[in-house]
Amino acid sequence: MTALALSPPRLRRPWSGIESAGESEVTELLPETEPERDDARLLDALRGGDEAAFAELVGRYHGPLKRFASSFGAGDAVCEEIVQEAWLGALQGLKSFEGRSSFKSWLFGIVKNQARRRAERERRTVPFSALSGEGEDDGLAVDPDRFQGEDGAWPGHWATPPRAWEDPQRRLASLEAREHLRTAIAALPERQRAVVVLRDVEGLGAEEVCALLEISEGNQRVLLHRARAGVRNALEGYVNG
């Protein structure tokens, strides 16, 4: 008996909501635009002198910006300083922000520049692209032993297929699952982590991430995929465990 002979697992029906370039409309995986509209409202208030609006934006983005800063290889205290400087830079530059990119991605860009300036000042040159890149772009999404070898009836097909997760949305929303998610992200190689955090946690677009990290689209996709697959593998152990 091989995997191809097994009866099908329980699938979502109708099987939909999954984006593909060929058959689907807009991605459902894109983050909602609600926060962006809200950013615009806060920006207007901030420009009008509303201190609470500034405090709210700081509260919203300080954490994400710090996590992003840390992907340039600096320690916690330095990141805190980098992001503080970035906020000051943002205030100075606010007049020139025309809303061509999202406010969020504009902020990330300022942090990137601050991190770079800081590194130059300290004569550490750590461009993102040089960060411990060793081997991060190779490797496989799934353990090759889970597929049949050339001597089987179905080479390249699943030998040990994934077990379906019951009600994944609900299961992955539990506090315990979130803890596993965080652990899984923390365990990723640095470059993969930086990409997946910007894309899937912070919700930036592919182009924005390529520009921020100065990597090619192809490289971005590879890192993103390895990261997602790594997190899925970790969750698989948790959900099935």
Nearest to 163 by CA among 230, 229, 237, 228: 237
Spacing of C-alpha 224 from chain mean position: 7
Query: 């999954």: which residue's tokens?
Result: 18
- C-beta atoms surrounding 222 within 10 Å: 19
Residue 16, Ramachandran bin (φ over 0: left; ψ between -120 and 50: alpha; else beta): beta
Closer to another protein by Cβ: residue 12 or 41: 12
Closer to another protein by CB, 20 or 125: give it: 20
Cβ of residue 100: shortest distance to another protein, in angstroms?
Answer: 22
- Which stretches of the chain are DSSP H helices? 34-47, 51-70, 76-93, 103-121, 168-171, 175-186, 190-196, 206-213, 217-240
Residue 123 CB, nearest approach to another protein (Å): 26
Least distance between another protein and beta carbon 60 (Å): 9
Looking at beta carbons only, is 14 or 241 nearer to another protein?
A: 14
| Number of neighbours of residue 65 by Cβ within 10 angstroms | 26
Compare residues 36 and 80 and give the one whose CB is closer to another protein. Answer: 80
CB nearer to another protein: pick between 127 and 161: 161
Which residue, 97 or 158, has its beta carbon nearer to another protein?
Answer: 158
Chain-centroid distance, C-alpha 44? 28
Residue matched to tokens 């490797």: 139
39 neighbors 103 (Cβ within 8 angstroms): yes
As measured in angstroms, the least distance from the Cβ of 13 to another protein is 7
Decide: 208 and 105 in contact? Cβ < 8 Å. Answer: yes
In whole angstroms, how close is the CB of 9 to another protein at the nearest point? Answer: 6
- Residue reference for tokens 């992955």: 172
Least separation in angstroms between CB 220 and another protein = 9
